[in-house]
Amino acid sequence: MPKQQTPDKYTRSGAHKLTCPDCNKVYVGQTGRGFIERFNEHKSAFKTNSHMSNYAKHILDQSHSSGPVQNTVQILQYHGKGTYLNTIVILHLRRFL
């Protein structure tokens, strides 16, 4: 069975929102790497029962499921790591509080 291709939009960096598929709770974060790479770190934290990711901690603590990147990650804005990206994340956090 061939491996499913990840759309190019997930290889870029910036601000993103993760949504729990079971309760719709959101986690807003940022990455200077690709979104798919960061999402895979969240999945790894979930699989290893690590609380290094707030998203994985929520999934573990609530016994919720973790969906695929296409259903879980919403790209809020593309941008490289730095002060401007920090500001972008703060602005998006205010939308979800």
Whole-model pTM? Answer: 0.83
Q: What is the per-residue pLDDT for 95? A: 81
Structure tokens at 23: 């309760």
5: in domain? no
3: in domain? no
Terminal-residue alpha carbon distance, the chain: 42
User: How many domains, in total, are found in the chain?
Assistant: 1
Structure tokens at 19: 């949504």
1: in domain? no
Structure tokens at 68: 């695929």
Q: Are 21 and 78 contacting, i.e. CB atoms less than 8 angstroms apart? A: no
4: in domain? no
Q: What is the per-residue pLDDT for 2? A: 53
6: in domain? no
Q: What is the mean pLDDT of each run of 10 residues along the chain (97 residues)?
A: 66 95 94 95 92 92 92 93 89 81
Residue 73 dihedral angles phi and psi, to the nearest 5°: -100, 125
26: in domain? yes
Q: What is the per-residue pLDDT for 50? A: 85
Q: What is the per-residue pLDDT for 23? A: 95
Domain span including residue 26? 12-96
Q: Are 35 and 13 contacting, i.e. CB atoms less than 8 angstroms apart? A: yes
